[in-house]
Amino acid sequence: MKTLRAGIIGCGNITLNAHAPALQRTSGVQVVGVSDPVEPRRARVQELLGLPPETGFADYGDLLAAGVDYVVLTVPQSFRRPIVEECARAGVHVLSEKPVATVPADAEAMITAMRAANLRFGMVHNYVYYPEYVQARALVEAGALGRLRHVLLNFMGMPDHPGAAEYRPAWRHDPLEAGGGVLMDMVHVVYLAEFFFGSPIRFASALVDNVDHPGDQVEDFTLAQYGFDQGYATVQMWWGEGPGGLELSGTDGRLVLTYQNYDTGPFTTLASFTLVNRQGRLDDLPRAKTSGVHNFDQVHADFAAAVREGREPAAPAEAGLRALEGVLAAYTSAAMGRVAPLPLGPDHPVHRLGLAGLKELPVWPESPVRRRGILGLAPDQA
């Protein structure tokens, strides 16, 4: 088996804590270089990987020129388009952190460039590998719940993790750089809803607000409804201290997952996994069956195999685009006070401009988005 030469572009906390260790454990992959404009961050990742000084680059173009088969891209989402387009020109595959971009038009341009070059472009949608979510989907597909009608994704105790101290710790609270607040940061829940239903989102209806971070320009609280062809998903999210868990409801049964002390999963210990249907009740703890398996390992193993086999990764960039539009549709709905259909058309202001496109829409005067002056809207924007 040929050893794939991998590079890392972006040496923030997610690289140090998750990607670099996972790459060390990925069979047939060797990290040969890292790139980040902040030298202390490069040095920390190089030290972790045992790389010599000459393998660190301030300019990602120098890393690409050094020769890599693929890169893991973890820079903030607003900076990704020129990097991915340069990778396309260099013939380098890309595995990107979520969300794929802040602007759907940028995501489409990246996908077009990578497709034209016949390169793999994958997303780090690592939540689809958590054992409890895998088992929940398997039960849905096996018909244990009948026809799935509703999914509740309760993430009301989200930690607000800062970025790297050497860069900008609060960059996720900048609407231009992050593209949104708690929902954009946790876009995982949007692709999870699609994962359970096995089909794309058709519309969003949402309320978003900033209730505990005065002066910030992004939301810290989200209540969203997503419509699918056969049912609905409810997303409840807060950078706060509310309960977490997952509930799936079908025509013939229901599935309920809770975490220790009703914390928000999957950051803590799974406490219960209960299926109730017409055959009775079944309690199980699927995570115990796969202890020691890290979901980032599975992401990297799948992407390396996709590169070798010339196939699509488990989460191609198109899935990242759908998740991005799902988040932005929720923001659009919250700003306008009405349902936002999906997908966003190419001429839709939010598709073209991301959050900046909200200014071109008729904003609901009583929307918390307008009243709080968040997501790029001034308090008098109407």
Residue 307 inside a domain? The answer is yes
Residues 154, 113 within the same domain: no
Residues 158, 82 within the same domain: no
Q: Pick the closest to residue 364 from 329, 341, 333 (CA basis).
A: 333
Residue type for position 347: D
Residues 105, 247 within the same domain: no
Q: What is the pLDDT of residue 159?
A: 86
Q: What's the rounded Cα separation, in Å, for the pair 356 and 153?
A: 28
Q: What is the pLDDT of residue 380?
A: 63
Residue 321 inside a domain? The answer is no
pLDDT over 70 at 202, yes or no: yes
Q: What's the rounded Cα separation, in Å, for the pair 75 and 128?
A: 22
Residue 116 inside a domain? The answer is yes
Q: What is the pLDDT of residue 41?
A: 95
CA distances from 266 to 39, 132, 159 (A): 32, 9, 12
Q: What's the rounded Cα separation, in Å, for the pair 327 and 250?
A: 25
Residues 308, 191 within the same domain: no
Q: What's the rounded Cα separation, in Å, for the pair 43 and 55?
A: 10
Q: How confident is the model at residue 293 (pLDDT cuts 50, 70, 90)?
A: low
Residues 82, 186 within the same domain: no
Residue 74 inside a domain? The answer is yes
> Residues 92-115: what's their mean pLDDT?
98
Domain closes at, from 255, 290, 325: 290
Q: What is the pLDDT of residue 161?
A: 78
Q: What's the rounded Cα separation, in Å, for the pair 274 and 247?
A: 10
pLDDT by residue (tens digit) across 206-226? 999 999 999 899 999 999 999
**248 within 8 A of 140, measured Cβ to Cβ:** yes
Residue 381 inside a domain? The answer is no
Domain closes at, from 290, 306, 333: 290
Residue 326 inside a domain? The answer is no
The length of the chain in residues reads 382
Residues 98, 132 within the same domain: no
pLDDT over 50 at 162, yes or no: yes
Residue 336 inside a domain? The answer is no
Domain closes at, from 290, 305, 328: 290
CATH code assigned at 88: 3.40.50.720
Q: Supply the range of the domain harboring residue 274.
A: 127-290
Residues 90, 183 within the same domain: no
Question: What proportion of the chain, given as a percentage, has pLDDT over 90?
Answer: 88
Q: Which residues pair with 270 in a beta bridge?
A: 259
Residues 40, 181 within the same domain: no
Residue type for position 373: G
Question: Count of CB atoms within 10 A of residue 93's CB?
Answer: 24
What burial letters (b/e) apply to 226-236, b meaning 16+ CB within 10 Å? bbbeebbbebb
Stretch among 134-148, 263-277, 308-322 having the lowest mean pLDDT = 263-277
Residues 144, 219 within the same domain: yes
> Residues 303-315: what's their mean pLDDT?
98
Residues 166, 56 within the same domain: no
Stretch among 89-98, 109-118, 261-270, 279-288 having the lowest mean pLDDT = 279-288
Stretch among 242-246, 285-289, 342-346 having the lowest mean pLDDT = 285-289
CATH code assigned at 153: 3.30.360.10
Residues 77, 114 within the same domain: yes
Per the structure, how many domains does the chain have? 2
Stretch among 8-12, 35-39, 285-289, 310-314 having the lowest mean pLDDT = 285-289
pLDDT over 50 at 382, yes or no: no
Residue 166 inside a domain? The answer is yes
pLDDT over 60 at 290, yes or no: no
**32 within 8 A of 8, measured Cβ to Cβ:** no
Residues 137, 284 within the same domain: yes
Q: Classify strands 270-277 and 280-283 as parallel, antiparallel or unpaired.
A: antiparallel
